[in-house]
Amino acid sequence: MHLRLFLSSRRAPRFGLSSIRAWFVVLLTGAALLLAACGGGSGGGISFVGVGPGVTPPDTPAVQPPSGFSYAMTSAVYQLGQPIVPNRPSASGGTIERYTVEPALPAGLAIDRTTGIISGTPTVLVASAVYTVTAGNAGGTATARVVIEVRQTPAAPAGLSYRDLAPVYTVGQGIVPNAPNSGGGPITVYGVAPALPAGLLLDAATGVISGTPTTTAAAADYLITGTNAAGSATVTLRLTVQPALAAPASVSYDTPAALYVTTEPITPNAAQVTGGPASSFTIAPALPAGLSINSETGVITGTPGAIQSQATYTVTASNAAGSAQTQLKISVTARGSWSAAAPIPLARHYSAAVKLNDGKVLVVGGISAGGSYASQADLYDPTHDTWTTAAPMLAARADPSATVLADGRVLVVGGDSSINSNLASAELYDPAANTWTAAGSMSVERTRHSATLLPDGRVLVIGGYKKGGSTQFLQTAEFYDPLSGSWSLAATPMSVPRAQHGAQLVAGGNAVLLIGGVGVVGSITQLTSAELFPVSGSGSPTTVAGAVPAGNVYVSALLADGSVLALADTTTTALRFAPAGTTFTTSTIASSERRILPTMTVLADGRVLVAGGVGLGTAEIYNPDVDTWTAAASMSTTRARATAVLLNDGSVLAIAGDAGAGSELSSVERYTP
């Protein structure tokens, strides 16, 4: 057992001579007329009134696409065999010409392709599912999300609300109809108490409040009750009728900072306005592709089509008297997809992999079937999806570090030579010559150390452990200088012996952040400390304030903003260390399972892919702009102790690993974000 798992498509008519002569005259006349029309054979073409040279035909007005498309019931629970209350859509923008829905609605229900109304009587039981309705015209489309469930028994209404919960209306001015939305069972009748101010009406069937107020009314609460056979739901509206038009006082959204997923329809994000009622809404800049705002209600709906980092949008709610603004933050992530790549020639786990300067991937060493330690090196060509076997290393080694140097060569350091022994030796791979040369030896054997390329081109190797009669955790660090080809011991030791730790260069290249891992504090233990180790090799390490989760093995990644993301195998809590900070912040990964020996890869767009782990084929994405994790598409197999490399096209290559003890993988998968 290896130490990294320590604590775990008729004939022709006949013509006489006279006929032929007559036709010849006609042809000559036609030709003369044609030449005259052509300007006597000059460079001009045939000219028709309004369409000749120099005359531009009038432009066809552009058709405005639908926008702000949504349904009165975004989440409905229907009863088997009972006619449903028609679910009616609303939208702004251009006139909608057609409606479609995917997937097909439950049996018995139908969508009117002209009006978009969903009606009918469900005939089968259906579990809660999302249906995407697309409204379109010649100018484009908009989408809306509807969740439908069909039960054996009726469901009471739930979540009754209105677009405007505290509207202020004006005497003599017709109001923008205030429509309800709800979930659960469909509402069959609406009621209000006390009676609405004079001139305002509540439609008992639809719940829509409309009309023109005729007298002023002080602010007061009105209880709206939506009822069906199974029960009721209520909502309180605070209505005011004022003598003169008031500008909107404020506008806000149900979700002021939203994270959406490409190809998945969003939950409508509704606007809430106080003060005078808004008659129009605008947004700047334009929403992400696939999303739209209803210019009358302000609701944001649709299905985002592309990934984007968090961006800020200003929404303006206006009427004749004035306007109010608010800001929304929207980011869009994606699940991505996996596809099979050519298998690697040698199945193994605990190998090391790097991307070379020409875009190819070098994979070295590892443990193959039967526990054999490999010296084999393989090269992957992403352009042709092919593997070739490179020159073998000078020594068989598993779990070494591999670092691409400034000149394009690869430094491979340490690792295990057998289950009970480690290597102090290092070697250099020259991609141009396909050769390996010795690169000297460290002062001590090391496995599960960290190797960091420094700004000056040297490599700093820190910590690790060595085996023999017993396991010895190392507190030392060593420098490799490619110019001299020599090793030197750092004068500064770590604060504690440390292996299997996270390590990233921070502080403008002046320190390496070391996080957790396993070490010795009296006895072998999972460390709960982190420190900043000076790359100068002198001075003292700086302990980072606060404890980190204890873990057997830490994986880490350097984010675009200079912060560090880290995750241990014993927890679902991830850590983030700000570049200018001195402590960690935390986030919770999307999965409910801890990941033991997964891969962690920073994507080209700045997000982070964490994939696999012992017994896991799932993957998830960290979205650093919003400090939030989302589920990613799953791999085709469980995969642990693998390696992963970001390719030049932005995809990620997940290489080999194992699916369990003694089941080394030769399969390779490619993740497309």
Query: Which domains are seen in the chain, by residue range?
Result: 66-151 (2.60.40.10), 157-242 (2.60.40.10), 248-333 (2.60.40.10), 337-672 (2.120.10.80)
Weakest mean pLDDT among 166-170, 389-393, 636-640: 166-170
Contact status, residue 266 vs residue 145, Cβ threshold 8 Å: yes
Q: Quick one: pLDDT at residue 19?
A: 36
| Structure-token pair, residue 659 | 């699916």
Q: Quick one: pLDDT at residue 59?
A: 55
| Structure-token pair, residue 543 | 């302990």
Contact status, residue 520 vs residue 497, Cβ threshold 8 Å: yes
Task: Tell whether the model's pLDDT for residue 580 goes beyond 90.
Answer: no
Order of strands, sheet of 608-611, starting from the edge strand that comes earlier in the sequence: 599-602, 608-611, 619-623, 628-632
- CA 553 distance to own-chain centroid: 27
Q: Which of 430-434, 538-542, 658-662 has the highest mean pLDDT?
A: 430-434
Contact status, residue 544 vs residue 528, Cβ threshold 8 Å: no
- pLDDT category at 662 given cuts 50, 70, 90 is confident
Q: Quick one: pLDDT at residue 55?
A: 40
Would strands 248-253 and 584-588 be described as parallel, antiparallel, or unpaired? unpaired
- Name the percent of the chain lying above pLDDT 90: 85
Weakest mean pLDDT among 240-249, 479-488, 564-573: 240-249
- pLDDT category at 523 given cuts 50, 70, 90 is confident
Q: Quick one: pLDDT at residue 521?
A: 84
Task: Tell whether the model's pLDDT for residue 13 goes beyond 90.
Answer: no
Weakest mean pLDDT among 70-74, 477-481, 581-585: 581-585
- For the residues 380-396, what does the mean pLDDT come to? 98
Beta strands in 431-481 (DSSP E): 435-441, 450-453, 459-462, 465-466, 472-473, 477-481
| Position with higher pLDDT, 38 vs 103 | 103
Task: Tell whether the model's pLDDT for residue 5 goes beyond 50.
Answer: no
| Structure-token pair, residue 635 | 């791999």
pLDDT, averaged across the chain: 90
